[in-house]
Amino acid sequence: MIAIDLIQSTAETLMDKAAIEIPDDYLAGLKAAAAAEDGDLSSFVLQAMLENYEAAKEDRRAMCGDTGTPRWYVKMGNETVIEGGPVALEAALRRATANATNGVPLRPNRVHPLWRTDHDNNVGIGAPEIEYGYEPGGEWIDLITVHKGGLFGTDYRMLFPSDGIQGIKRFFLDSLVAFGKRGLACQPAIIGIGLGGCKDTCMVLGKRAACLRTVGDRNSDPRIAAMEEEFTQLGNSIGMGAMGFVGKSMVIDTHIEVGYCHTGGMQMSVHAFCLSSRRAVARVFPDGRVEYRTDPDWFTDYQRRETVEWQMPKGHEKSA
Amino acid sequence: MANAKGPREIRLSTTPDADALAQLRLGDIVYLDGLMYTAREGVYIRALEDKANIPLDLPGQSAANFHCSPAARINPDGSFEMGAITATASFRFAKWLPEWLAKTGTKLVIGKGGMSSKDYKSYFVPNGAIYLSTVGYGTGALLGRGIERVESVHWQEELGLAQAMWLIRCRKMGPFIVASDGDGNCLFERENERISRNLAEVYEGTRPATLKRFGETDDKSDELI
- pLDDT at residue A312, as a whole number: 72
Within a domain: residue B205?
Answer: no
The verdict on B73 touching A (C-beta cutoff 8 Å) is yes
Within a domain: residue B146?
Answer: yes
pLDDT band at B2 (very low <50, low <70, confident <90, very high): very low
The verdict on A18 touching B (C-beta cutoff 8 Å) is no
Say how far apart CA B168 and CA B81 lie, in whole Å.
12
Give the tens place of pLDDT for each residue, A182-239.
999 999 999 999 999 999 999 999 999 999 999 999 999 999 999 999 999 999 999 9
Q: Which domain holds residue B172?
A: 9-193
Chain B residues whose beta carbon lies within 8 Å of the beta carbon of residue A177: 199, 220
- pLDDT at residue A219, as a whole number: 98
What ipTM was estimated for this complex? 0.84
Give the tens place of pLDDT for each residue, B20-40.
999 999 999 999 999 999 999
| Amino acid of residue B180 | S
Distance in Å, alpha carbon of A118 to nearest chain B alpha carbon: 6
The verdict on A38 touching B (C-beta cutoff 8 Å) is no
Give the tens place of pLDDT for each residue, B42-51.
999 999 999 9
Q: In this model, does residue B102 exceed pLDDT 90?
A: yes
The verdict on B192 touching A (C-beta cutoff 8 Å) is yes
The answer to whether B70 touches B84, Cβ cutoff 8 Å, is yes
C-alpha count within 13 angstroms, C-beta hemisphere, residue A12: 17
The values of phi and psi at residue A195, to 5°, are: -125, 130
Tell me if A44 and B5 make a contact (CB, 8 A cut-off).
Answer: no
Tell me if B138 and A177 make a contact (CB, 8 A cut-off).
Answer: no
C-alpha count within 13 angstroms, C-beta hemisphere, residue A119: 16
> Nearest by CB to B145, which of A59, A65, A173?
A59
Within a domain: residue B217?
Answer: no
pLDDT band at B1 (very low <50, low <70, confident <90, very high): very low
State the 10-residue block means of pLDDT for chain A, 320 residues long.
98 97 97 95 95 94 91 98 98 98 93 94 98 96 94 93 96 96 94 98 98 98 98 98 96 98 97 95 98 98 95 56
Within a domain: residue B104?
Answer: yes
Cα dihedral B107, B10, B190, B207, rounded to 10, equals: -100
Chain B residues whose beta carbon lies within 8 Å of the beta carbon of residue A44: 1, 6-7, 29, 135, 175
- pLDDT at residue B214, as a whole number: 83
Say how far apart CA A105 and CA A89 lie, in whole Å.
23
- pLDDT at residue B69, as a whole number: 81
Closest C-alpha among A279, A19, A10 to residue B83:
A19
Number of domains in chain B: 1
Tell me if A181 and B73 make a contact (CB, 8 A cut-off).
Answer: no
Closest C-alpha among A80, A70, A89 to residue A6:
A89
pLDDT, average across residues B129-137: 94
pLDDT band at B74 (very low <50, low <70, confident <90, very high): confident
B-facing residues of A in 229-258 (CB < 8 A) are 234, 237-240, 242-246
Within a domain: residue B206?
Answer: no
Which letter does DSSP use for residue B48 in this model? I
Within a domain: residue B210?
Answer: no
Distance in Å, alpha carbon of B22 to nearest chain A alpha carbon: 21
- pLDDT at residue A318, as a whole number: 44
CA distances to A130, A224, A316, B120 from A300, in Å: 19, 15, 13, 51
The verdict on B202 touching A (C-beta cutoff 8 Å) is yes
Within a domain: residue B45?
Answer: yes
B-facing residues of A in 168-187 (CB < 8 A) are 169-171, 173-174, 177-179, 181-184, 186
Interface test with A, best of B69, B137, B190 (most A CBs within 10 A): B137
The verdict on A296 touching B (C-beta cutoff 8 Å) is no
The verdict on B2 touching A (C-beta cutoff 8 Å) is no
- pLDDT at residue A48, as a whole number: 94
- pLDDT at residue A151, as a whole number: 84
What sign for the dihedral angle of Cα B29, B129, B151, A124? negative
Q: Is A165 left (phi over 0), alpha (psi -120 to 50) or beta?
A: alpha
Q: In this model, does residue B117 exceed pLDDT 90?
A: yes
CATH number at residue B60: 3.20.130.10
Interface test with B, best of A22, A42, A44 (most B CBs within 10 A): A44
Within a domain: residue B102?
Answer: yes
